[in-house]
Amino acid sequence: MFKKILIANRGEIAVRVIRACREMGIAPVAVYSEADRAALHIRKADEAYAIGPASAAESYLNIGKIIDAARRSGAEAIHPGYGFLSENPAFSAACTEAGIKFIGPSPASMRMMGSKTSARQHMERAGVPFVPGTSRGVASLREAEEVAAGIGYPVMLKAAAGGGGKGMRLVDASTELKGALDAARSEALRAFGDDEVYIEKAIANPRHIEMQILADEYGNTLYLGERECSIQRRHQKVVEECPSPIVDADMRRRMGEVAVRAAQAAAYANAGTIEFLVDAHKNFYFLEMNTRLQVEHPVTELVTGLDLVHWQIRIAAGEKLAIRQDELRLRGHAIECRVYAEDPENNYFPSPGTIASLIEPSGPGIRLDSGIYEGWTVPMEYDPLLAKLVGYGAHREEATARLFRALEEYFVGGIKTNLGLFRRILSDPDFIAAKVDTAFLDRLLKSPAPQKPGHAEIAAVAAGLFAVLNPDSSMNGTNGTRQDADGGRSAQNKGAAAWKRAARLDALQ
């Protein structure tokens, strides 16, 4: 087993991996950019290496600096977390070249799954189902008409070189096809210099369900059950659960076997995830493979009882999987909320700043993977994910109840978060009935939570009592903050001064 591992990441996932290292008796090494000097992952690590300025391109994405830190520290392996360099085959290759074990799949597996067309070719050969349609561009309008008639409307036109919605058109009926094809082609040409457009069946309000796999370096591959990830904002998951409310044992086995075939076709080792689109008839179609640990891995850990990060490290150290597929048992239900520093009522606008007060939930069935602390200033340079709150229970109802209870206990003061949105999601009848798809969140009303009658009066009285009982306390809950000035601080102090002044003036009466 490794004696020292460098974690090439930050935030909650760096803390998560550091915890796994501690549990396995491995010394964890942190890296940090200038914006992260006060971050929690540094406090928790044995060693910490500065790797450059705030900009990720010059720090967390800089392969040379990270390899250099690993060499200097003597780390035998690197855990990439998710995001940043985790799916970069050049990084994985650079690790190998430097004689450092990359905790993840080989560069070849990564490359195969990283390219859309290469992945589709390999996956089709392995018998993995795709959304019906053409796998390369249609040559003419007549060919397009034939294909669309064959798979049935509505269909989706997509640019072969595409991405980001450019060159995409939804076509509801044959009469619309010509215009849409012309428009998609010209948009694709302008955007990518290539007017190749292919056709896929359009899936309305699909569910997004993914299958976790775990493979050792000896060809043994397990599927660990699915995750339902349909609740998204801006194509980013915010609530995930395991198991999916619509997947039964038979469907799980079929999806799992497809996922194992896909992984084996890519000679895949370590943890990975096959994402599927699922239509209203529970047909599932390969979407892509994520060749890394997922943000939402905790829900699978709670339901399978396995620690995926421990297993990632063990597999990288050359261990064989100690469990067989038929020994694996799913038990209970887990739901995760991704807590972001953002304002859901203002189009999810990011909300960095100082966490002036923090109350974290705990108790039965609650797991919190957090990367923050009271007094810390959330930097504006990175993804605003603060923490992941997970509720576990014997069944979906109990998991939801425990998670909701924990959301009521959770308080992050000083910055905006999406905690209130989660409380709304979890009490929404559609969520409770498990009627979720990728359009759920857009349907959820955006109106603020209703205030209770009489509570404004209580707030007035409470404000007076705060002033009387604690007139000298700063409005800012923490005494110490980072050395560098931050935008909100002086304003806060002004506010505090105003409160104190008013309280003192009154005391003179």
Partner 1 sequence: MLYEISVDGKNYRVEIAREKEGRWLCKLDGKEIPLDAVLANSHALSLIIGTNSYEILREPTGTEARLWIQNTPYTVELRDPRSFRGRNRAAKDHDGPKKLTALMPGKVVRLLLSPGDEVEAGEGVLVLEAMKMQNEIKSPKKGSVQKILVAEGEAVKAGDVLAIVE
Binding mask 451-470 for its own copies (x = CB under 8 A): ------------------xx
In the complex, the smallest distance separating the C-beta of residue 56 from its own copies, rounded to whole angstroms, is 25
CB nearer to its own copies: pick between 155 and 387: 387
Q: Which of residues 398-457 bind partner 1 (CB under 8 A)?
A: 407-408, 411, 413-414, 419-420, 423, 449, 451-452, 455-457
Q: Is 462 in the site for partner 1 (CB under 8 A)?
A: yes
Q: Angle at Cα 200 formed by Cα 194 and Cα 202, nearest 5°?
A: 125
* Maximum pairwise Cα distance, the chain: 89
Q: Is 52 in the site for partner 1 (CB under 8 A)?
A: no
CA 358, CA 124: separation in Å to the nearest integer? 49
CB nearer to its own copies: pick between 26 and 258: 26
Pick what 384 binds: partner 1, its own copies, none; C-beta below 5 to 8 Å, kind-dependent.
partner 1
E strands, 9-54, are: 27-32, 47-50
Burial of 484 (0-12, 13-18, 19+ CB in 10 A): exposed
CB nearer to its own copies: pick between 167 and 393: 393
DSSP state at residue 133:
B
Buried b / exposed e across 393-431, counting CB within 10 Å, b at 16+? beebebbbebbbbbbeebebebbbbbbebbbbbbebeeb
Q: Is 332 in the site for its own copies (CB under 8 A)?
A: yes
Q: Which stretch binds its own copies (CB under 8 A): 75-83, 195-203, 284-292, 325-333?
A: 325-333
Q: Which of residues 387-446 bind its own copies (CB under 8 A)?
A: 393-394, 398, 401-402, 404-405, 408-409
From residue 83, alpha-carbon distances to 259, 264, 306, 483 in Å are 22, 23, 23, 29
Q: Angle at Cα 155 formed by Cα 151 and Cα 157, nearest 5°?
A: 120
Encoded tokens for 238: 């915010």
Confirm if 239 and 400 have CB atoms less than 8 A apart.
no
CA 337, CA 358: separation in Å to the nearest integer? 17
Q: Is 502 in the site for partner 1 (CB under 8 A)?
A: yes
In the complex, the smallest distance separating the C-beta of residue 404 from its own copies, rounded to whole angstroms, is 8
Confirm if 169 and 157 have CB atoms less than 8 A apart.
yes
Choice from 226, 301, 342, 437 touching its own copies (CB under 8 A): 301
CB nearer to partner 1: pick between 111 and 402: 402
Total site size for partner 1, rule CB under 8 A? 88
Encoded tokens for 345: 């009522």
Q: Is 180 in the site for partner 1 (CB under 8 A)?
A: no
Q: Which of residues 97-126 bind its own copies (CB under 8 A)?
A: none
Q: Which position among 185, 292, 338, 424 bears the catalytic label?
A: 292
Question: Is 292 a catalytic site residue?
Answer: yes
Q: Is 371 in the site for its own copies (CB under 8 A)?
A: no
CA 173, CA 167: separation in Å to the nearest integer? 18
CB nearer to partner 1: pick between 55 and 264: 55
Q: Is 46 in the site for its own copies (CB under 8 A)?
A: no
In the complex, the smallest distance separating the C-beta of residue 192 from its own copies, rounded to whole angstroms, is 43
DSSP-derived secondary structure for 360-395 = ---STTEEEEE---TTPEEPSSS--EEEEEEEEESS
CB nearer to partner 1: pick between 39 and 94: 39
Q: Which of residues 333-392 bind partner 1 (CB under 8 A)?
A: 346-352, 356-357, 359, 373-376, 380-384
Choice from 175, 447, 451, 483 touching its own copies (CB under 8 A): 483
CB nearer to its own copies: pick between 96 and 427: 427
Choice from 3, 71, 72, 331 touching partner 1 (CB under 8 A): 72
Nearest to 303 by CA among 219, 247, 360: 247
CA 235, CA 164: separation in Å to the nearest integer? 11
- Look up residue 30 and give its amino acid: A
Nearest to 45 by CA among 33, 31, 60, 30: 30
Q: Is 89 in the site for partner 1 (CB under 8 A)?
A: no
Residues that bind its own copies (CB under 8 A): 15-16, 19-20, 22-25, 44, 298, 301, 305-307, 309-310, 329, 331-332, 359-360, 362-370, 373, 393-394, 398, 401-402, 404-405, 408-409, 469-470, 472-474, 477, 479-480, 483
Catalytic residue IDs: 292
